[in-house]
């Protein structure tokens, strides 16, 4: 039985393992993930799954029995108690009414699979070995422990040329994009069309000018780049079309950057997840002097950690570090140290491999349930697929009526509403809980069946 307990590291660090487990169980009961009458695992089994002591689990169970969240009877085990439904105000009731039963929108991983036990072990080791100065203001580029660990990991896993002195740790991808835009100081950035609207807005709000560049079945059309100072690309798995940048286009992009002394900004948001072959190496490995590589733990671990990294050409390191200093001084230190421990112990690699297998199974279920439907793209990699439809608005309306949330391709164009463009659904398969995912696919298949 998978309880999908969300043992948040910040909570564990603040209140301890027993209180953190109590809080996670309360939240699971309150939000319905643990249904009334559902039997909980034996204390020994749950302790093994979570990497805590049996006494910790027993104490948490006893506390929640005393509070009325759980019941315990001899021979019947520990079960979830029936609780009265909380009264909801008008705004809360309206918000709940709008919540979908099934969420296949792209953008997030399966946060229920966060490696809480491994993270806690890494956190304990990091805190135990951290020097006292680790709790003071630090280097805006980030902790040397994490930059060194990332240097090795990115080199072996993504083919990135990443000396520690060229790495800057950020609070996620968005901050990295914002810092770079500020350093480029009002320059024109070319961005893929279609692409993520939020990222375009990040560039604009930090003083950059955005111009669209079309994407076809081979990726970005390099010949359309013109005189932009930089181009932001998702070469491993273009968002949202799902195509991988063709080898010829990769070479042409490097040639374009060198000829014009321009930058390629590589958003490697889900590059570790490839299902038909080994992951395609990062573009940065071909032209490290022209490529700014941006990576993040948001898809491999979870967005809540707010840990990202930039690998920069030498001439940009000082300027980006200065922008980081005047943005938030530095990214929080303890999470950096914990991630460094996770990487150095190879627990990070093991988690990525396990995640790749889990997402491949989900991808396979999606493909199987759609029954060989034509016009399904991007299934070789990543956490989402693009499904072509004849009438996007109609299909999305039917999906909403069935309690299913999906992404719309139409929301991703630089000029929404233009006619003659492909229409489709952007279907994410990272977010749903394991138990809900097959049902979500049933609803999706039913909605798409009427579009055939």
Which of 358, 356, 405 shows the shortest CA–CA distance to 381? Answer: 356
Cα separation, 50 vs 117, whole angstroms = 6
Work out the average pLDDT over 29-58.
86
- Residue 102: φ, ψ to 5°: -130, 135
Encoding tokens for residue 441? 């696919």
Cα separation, 266 vs 239, whole angstroms = 12
pLDDT tens-digit series, residues 66-110: 888 999 887 778 999 987 755 555 555 454 556 888 999 999 999
pLDDT tens-digit series, residues 189-234: 999 999 999 999 999 999 999 999 999 999 999 999 989 999 999 9
How far from 19 is each of 9, 120, 290, CA to CA, in Å? 12, 14, 49
Cα separation, 21 vs 11, whole angstroms = 9
Q: What b/e sequence results for 377-388 when a residue is b if at least 16 CB atoms lie within 10 Å of its CB, and e otherwise? A: bbbbbbbbbbbb
CA angle, 295 as apex, 149 and 272 as ends, to 5°? 85
Specify the DSSP class assigned to residue 417.
T
Are 294 and 168 within 8 A, CB to CB?
no
Are 147 and 167 within 8 A, CB to CB?
yes
Q: How confident is residue 312, by pLDDT bands cut at 50, 70 and 90?
A: very high
CATH architecture of 9-89: Orthogonal Bundle (1.10)
Q: What is the pLDDT of residue 3?
A: 63
How far from 345 is each of 162, 178, 218, 272, 339, CA to CA, in Å? 19, 32, 38, 18, 10
Task: Name 82's Cβ contacts closer than 8 Å, sequence gap at least 6.
Answer: 36, 37
DSSP string, 151-175: HHHHHHHH-----GGGEEEESSHHH
How far from 50 is each of 24, 253, 378, CA to CA, in Å? 12, 46, 34
pLDDT tens-digit series, residues 229-261: 999 999 999 999 999 999 999 999 999 999 999
State which fold the 117-346 domain adopts: 3.40.640
- Residue 37's DSSP bridge partners are none
SS3 171: coil
The residue behind tokens 């990525």 is 352
Mean pLDDT of the chain: 90
Question: Does residue 10 surpass a pLDDT of 60?
Answer: no
Q: What is the pLDDT of residue 91?
A: 55
State which fold the 102-111+349-449 domain adopts: 3.90.1150
- Residue 274's DSSP bridge partners are 381
CA angle, 424 as apex, 106 and 420 as ends, to 5°? 140
Q: What is the pLDDT of residue 86?
A: 57
pLDDT tens-digit series, residues 164-175: 999 999 999 999
SS3 31: coil
Cα separation, 391 vs 397, whole angstroms = 10
Are 230 and 262 within 8 A, CB to CB?
yes
Are 407 and 425 within 8 A, CB to CB?
yes
Are 411 and 197 within 8 A, CB to CB?
yes
Encoding tokens for residue 98? 């709008």
Per-domain residue ranges of the chain = 9-89, 102-111+349-449, 117-346
CB count in 10 Å sphere of residue 371 = 10
Encoding tokens for residue 210? 């955005």
- Half-sphere exposure in the Cβ direction for 130 (13 Å, CA): 23
Work out the average pLDDT over 54-60.
91
Q: Of all residues in the chain, what percent carry a pLDDT higher than 90? A: 74
Are 403 and 100 within 8 A, CB to CB?
yes
Q: Are strands 77-80 and 102-104 parallel, antiparallel or unpaired?
A: unpaired
Which of 51, 56, 63 shows the shortest CA–CA distance to 116? Answer: 51
Are 25 and 69 within 8 A, CB to CB?
yes
- Residue 387's DSSP bridge partners are 376, 425
SS3 78: strand
SS3 416: coil
pLDDT tens-digit series, residues 327-386: 999 999 999 999 999 999 999 999 999 999 999 999 999 999 988 788 899 999 999 999
Question: Does residue 317 surpass a pLDDT of 90?
Answer: yes
Are 30 and 5 within 8 A, CB to CB?
no
């Amino acid at each position: 039985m998978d309880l999908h307990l969300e043992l948040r590291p910040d909570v564990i660090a603040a209140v301890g393992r027993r209180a953190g487990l109590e809080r996670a169980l309360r939240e699971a009961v309150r939000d319905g993930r643990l249904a009334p009458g559902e039997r909980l695992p034996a204390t020994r089994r749950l302790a093994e799954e979570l990497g805590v002591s049996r006494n910790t689990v027993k104490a948490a169970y006893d506390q929640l029995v005393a509070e009325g969240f759980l019941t315990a009877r001899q021979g019947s085990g520990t079960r979830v108690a029936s609780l009265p439904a909380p009264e909801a105000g008008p705004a809360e009731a309206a918000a709940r009414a709008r919540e979908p039963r099934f969420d296949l929108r792209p953008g997030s991983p399966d946060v229920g699979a966060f490696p809480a036990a491994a993270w806690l072990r890494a956190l304990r080791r990091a805190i135990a070995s951290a020097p006292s100065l680790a709790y003071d203001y630090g280097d805006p580029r980030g902790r040397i422990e994490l930059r060194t660990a990332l240097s090795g990991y990115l080199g072996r896993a993504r083919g990135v040329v990443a000396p520690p002195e060229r790495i800057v740790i950020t609070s996620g991808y968005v901050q990295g994009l914002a810092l770079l835009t500020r350093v480029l100081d009002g320059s024109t950035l070319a961005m893929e069309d279609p692409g993520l609207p939020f990222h375009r807005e990040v560039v604009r709000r930090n003083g950059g000018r955005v111009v669209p560049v079309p994407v076809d079945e081979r990726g970005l059309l390099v010949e359309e780049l013109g005189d932009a100072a930089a181009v932001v690309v998702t070469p491993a798995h273009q968002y949202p079309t799902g195509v991988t940048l063709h080898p010829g286009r990769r070479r042409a992009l490097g040639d374009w950057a060198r000829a014009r002394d321009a930058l390629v900004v590589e958003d490697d948001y889900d590059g570790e997840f490839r299902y038909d072959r080994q992951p395609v190496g990062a573009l940065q490995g071909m032209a490290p002097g022209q490529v700014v590589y941006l990576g993040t733990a948001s898809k491999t671990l979870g967005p809540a950690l707010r840990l990202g990294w930039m690998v920069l050409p030498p001439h940009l390191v000082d300027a980006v570090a200065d922008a980081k200093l005047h943005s938030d001084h530095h990214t929080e230190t303890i999470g950096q140290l914990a991630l460094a421990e996770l990487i150095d112990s190879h627990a990070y690699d093991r988690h990525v491999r396990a995640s790749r297998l889990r997402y491949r199974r989900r991808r396979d279920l999606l493909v199987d349930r759609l029954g060989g439907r034509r016009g399904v793209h991007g299934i070789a990699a990543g956490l989402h697929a693009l499904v072509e439809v004849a009438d996007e608005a109609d299909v999305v309306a039917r999906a909403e009526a069935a309690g299913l949330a999906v992404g719309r391709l139409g929301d991703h164009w630089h000029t929404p509403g233009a006619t003659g463009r492909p229409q489709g659904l952007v279907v994410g398969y990272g977010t749903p809980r394991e138990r809900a995912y097959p049902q979500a696919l049933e609803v999706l298949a039913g909605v798409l069946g009427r579009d055939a």
